[in-house]
Structure 1
Amino acid sequence: MLVNMKEILHNASLEKKAVGSFNVYTYETIKGVLESAQQQNFPAIIAFGEKYLKNMDFESVYSVVKTLSKNIEVPFVLHLDHCSNLENVYKAIKAGFTSVMYDGSALPYEENVANTSKVVEIAKACNVSVEAELGSLAAGLDSHEGKLDDREIYTSPLLAKDFVQKTGIDALAVSIGTVHGMYKGTPNIRVDILKEIKEKVDIPFVLHGGSGTPEDVLLDCIENGICKINVNTEISVYTIEKMKELLSNGQKYHLSEISLMQVGFIKEVVSKYMKLFNRMV
């Protein structure tokens, strides 16, 4: 059941749980996320970033999701992830996405506010939820979203309050020490900053960079207002490593078999995080 993200994040907030946002870019990734959601009986966010437009266009993503979700009874969201191009935001809304993330975090503050406000105005008229980001994440190992020169800038609690009030967004992505990709060293997640933001802002928070973050830290973040957690790199790294093992054993496989195996590996990672975010640990 395709829904607006605001709805499922509200419920997650009340229950002190988080909904996983899993990046997709192929038939296999979409199928893996949807089947995991159905099997775990837990909502999911299917996240498609503009950098993957070379893999699939917005209309194709929506069509595949719609076809594969015919028998999916749990709520799920089709979300545009990390999009800094306003035209692509509008194209995703037109294609049928139920949630969008406009990422103006690299812009001067007032420009980020202005652009985000424009997105909110158009999205809400279409019953589409809006996520935005304040602060920025550094890039870790195997990152496919960040750049090497990305700097970590923690989210300012005072600016967060002002930003939310001026834009009217539904969810705020915060920077508290996670990275895009896998960690190069021991993570230093500033839950204290998250707590300060929570004291000033009363909307669901989003944690980007869930891959490799210690489970106890993720649970602490959920306890303090994180309702959506993004996972991308770990799914890719795990699936590729498992495929390497299979293809190095000397056995020959048909491409159709490999596709099914990929779905299985994707589901292993997605299901692991769903259980964690549902606090079934």
Structure 2
Amino acid sequence: MGTDMALVSMGPMLKRAQAAGYGIAAFNMIDYNSARAIIEGAAAMKAPIIVQVSVKTIRHWGYKPIATWVRMLAETVEVPVALHLDHCSDGDVIRRCIDAGWTSVMFDGSSLPFAENKARSEDIYRLTEAAGVGLEAEIGAIGGVEDDKFVAEDSAILADYDECLEFVKNMPNLAVFAPAIGTAHGFYKGQPKIAYALLEKITAAVAIPIALHGGTGLSQEQFDRCIAGGCAKVNISTMHKHRFIEGFVAVRQDKPKLEEPLPFIIGQYDAMKKDVTDMIVAFGSAGKAAHAAGEDAER
């Protein structure tokens, strides 16, 4: 468990998901309405969920408000909810998230030389282990746009198998590992070329759940193959951001003279929540809340 009983650390639930062959959706929240749509969408589907937050979102709202919103919402539902810090290369932000009540964090040293990424990831790993918080670490360059970092899809670097084994060797309790397997952040310009063989080779050798970054725009068949190959955490950010805007705009188009703000906020919530429930079905985690929480194992 993480720092608050209402929120769980994502490591144990991802291990259970990987063993049972389903994926847990990890949505990047934007504001309170978005966090509500994610958590209440998961509750409606009786599914485990990961609410993740980008550094720029934390800088906008603040550490305490975000942690309070998510904890408060998690306390009203009966599904496991993890609060996760997405792509972060700043140790100070990671420490502040842990202090504020995040139950898992990601250290992204993928832009660093291998040895430096490994050393810094291990430093953060020791910090998270001491705090009882899960850690996600990344290797290789995942294409597309993430916060303010842009990697051209054709220059995305697949993770090296031998480096993957070396990288996680001293981090046996890593909550989730993110090796680059050919997916990209943002919308795909062409067909994503996913290195399934590499994914399966890594999961056959490494007993750590894998994160699938760049989930927006993948087909059901691609999701199925990645999840079957060991991807227990599936990230959705771009699509959620689009629903956030589209839900608002649709109300304006439907009722151009409307001046009351709440119907816009409700329209936005409904659009985001539908996206959440659709993805939960796609990843096979509907009805898996009790399993992910370990309740089946304890009976």
TM-score bracket for the superposition, by shorter chain length: over 0.9
Query: Does residue 36 of structure 1 match 2:38?
Result: no
Residue in 2 aligned with 1:240?
A: 245
Residue in 1 aligned with 2:127?
A: 122
Aligned residue among 155, 165, 173 for 2:159: 155
Residue in 1 aligned with 2:199?
A: 194
**RMSD, aligned α-carbons:** 1.6
Work out the CA distance in 2 between the residues paired with 1:57 and 1:35: 22
Letter in 1 for 2:14: L
1:215-267 superposed Cα distances (whole Å, 9 cap, x missing partner): 11111111011000000101111332343232123241411221222111110
Residues 244 and 144 (structure 1), Cα distance of their counterparts in 2 relative to 1, 3 Å cut: farther
1:21-54 superposed Cα distances (whole Å, 9 cap, x missing partner): 0001201111011101110000000001112223
Work out the CA distance in 2 between the residues paired with 1:93 and 1:73: 23
Work out the CA distance in 2 between the residues paired with 1:90 and 1:165: 23
Residue in 1 aligned with 2:289?
A: none
1:121-171 superposed Cα distances (whole Å, 9 cap, x missing partner): 1111111010000111111xxx45363445401011111111010334231
Q: CA deviation at 1:70?
A: 2.4
Work out the CA distance in 1 between the residues paired with 2:45 and 2:23: 14
Residue in 1 aligned with 2:210?
A: 205
1:41-75 superposed Cα distances (whole Å, 9 cap, x missing partner): 00000001112223211111111112222221111
Q: CA deviation at 1:174?
A: 1.9
Contact (CA 8 Å) 1:156, 1:197: kept in 2 or not? no
Residue in 2 aligned with 1:270?
A: 276
Letter in 2 for 1:194: L
1:73-99 superposed Cα distances (whole Å, 9 cap, x missing partner): 111100010011011011101110000
Higher relative contact order (CA 8 A, sep 6+): 2
Residue in 2 aligned with 1:164?
A: 168
- Identity across matched positions, percent: 30
1:199-220 superposed Cα distances (whole Å, 9 cap, x missing partner): 3212100001000111111111
Give 5+ residue unaligned stretches, structure 2: 1-5, 287-299
Work out the CA distance in 2 between the residues paired with 1:110 and 1:125: 23
Contact (CA 8 Å) 1:104, 1:132: kept in 2 or not? yes
Work out the CA distance in 2 between the residues paired with 1:153 and 1:146: 18
Work out the CA distance in 2 between the residues paired with 1:148 and 1:94: 30
Contact (CA 8 Å) 1:113, 1:167: kept in 2 or not? no
Residue in 2 aligned with 1:145?
A: 147
Residues 144 and 243 (structure 1), Cα distance of their counterparts in 2 relative to 1, 3 Å cut: farther
Letter in 2 for 1:20: A
Work out the CA distance in 2 between the residues paired with 1:240 and 1:117: 39
Contact (CA 8 Å) 2:48, 2:80: kept in 1 or not? yes
Work out the CA distance in 1 between the residues paired with 2:71 and 2:285: 29
Work out the CA distance in 2 between the residues paired with 1:167 and 1:10: 15
Work out the CA distance in 1 between the residues paired with 2:148 and 2:162: 25
Work out the CA distance in 2 between the residues paired with 1:144 and 1:122: 25
Q: TM-score if structure 2 supplies the norm length?
A: 0.88
Work out the CA distance in 1 between the residues paired with 2:36 and 2:85: 17
Work out the CA distance in 1 between the residues paired with 2:40 and 2:115: 41
Letter in 2 for 1:120: Y
Residue 229 of structure 1 aligns to a residue in which SS?
strand
Contact (CA 8 Å) 1:104, 1:112: kept in 2 or not? yes
Give 5+ residue unaligned stretches, structure 1: none
